[in-house]
Amino acid sequence: GNSVTQMEGPVTLSEEAFLTINCTYTATGYPSLFWYVQYPGEGLQLLLKATKADDKGSNKGFEATYRKETTSFHLEKGSVQVSDSAVYFCALPYGGSQGNLIFGKGTKLSVKP
């Protein structure tokens, strides 16, 4: 099946800093790619997605571009806020006959004022 590798954390940044969280994948074909976010004490929420190569997903100031050449889907934000402190997960379908998503190990982001 498909697989995903995500940058290990934790990541600590000052407010207004630039954020990059790396995500690379191995997949058959060009599956949809997702970023999920988990705020403290909450379940996971879909942050953004891209459904085909070269697509850019965006939400809440975050962006990620589906790059098939480098099999990557890195998450970026130009200016982080304290409220962005959370755990971020990259995900894609496992593939084959299985209908579930597989997730990276998660990257914990802490933003200091």
Nearest to 104 by CA among 59, 50, 37, 43: 37
Site size toward another protein (CB under 8 A) is: 23
Residue among 19, 21, 49, 64 that touches another protein (CB under 8 A): 49
Asked if 47 and 64 touch (Cβ cutoff 8 Å), the reply is no
Assess 51 for contact with another protein (CB under 8 A). Answer: yes
Assess 103 for contact with another protein (CB under 8 A). Answer: yes
Question: Segment contacting another protein (CB under 8 A): 14-22, 28-36, 60-68, 74-82?
Answer: 28-36
Residue among 21, 77, 104, 109 that touches another protein (CB under 8 A): 104
Residue among 45, 79, 81, 83 that touches another protein (CB under 8 A): 45
Nearest to 74 by CA among 61, 60, 62, 87: 62
Residue 88, class by beta-carbon neighbours within 10 Å (0-12 exposed, 13-18 middle, 19+ buried)? buried
Q: What is the DSSP letter of 72?
A: B
Could you list the residues that contact another protein (CB under 8 A)? 32, 34, 36, 42-46, 49, 51, 89, 93-94, 97-106
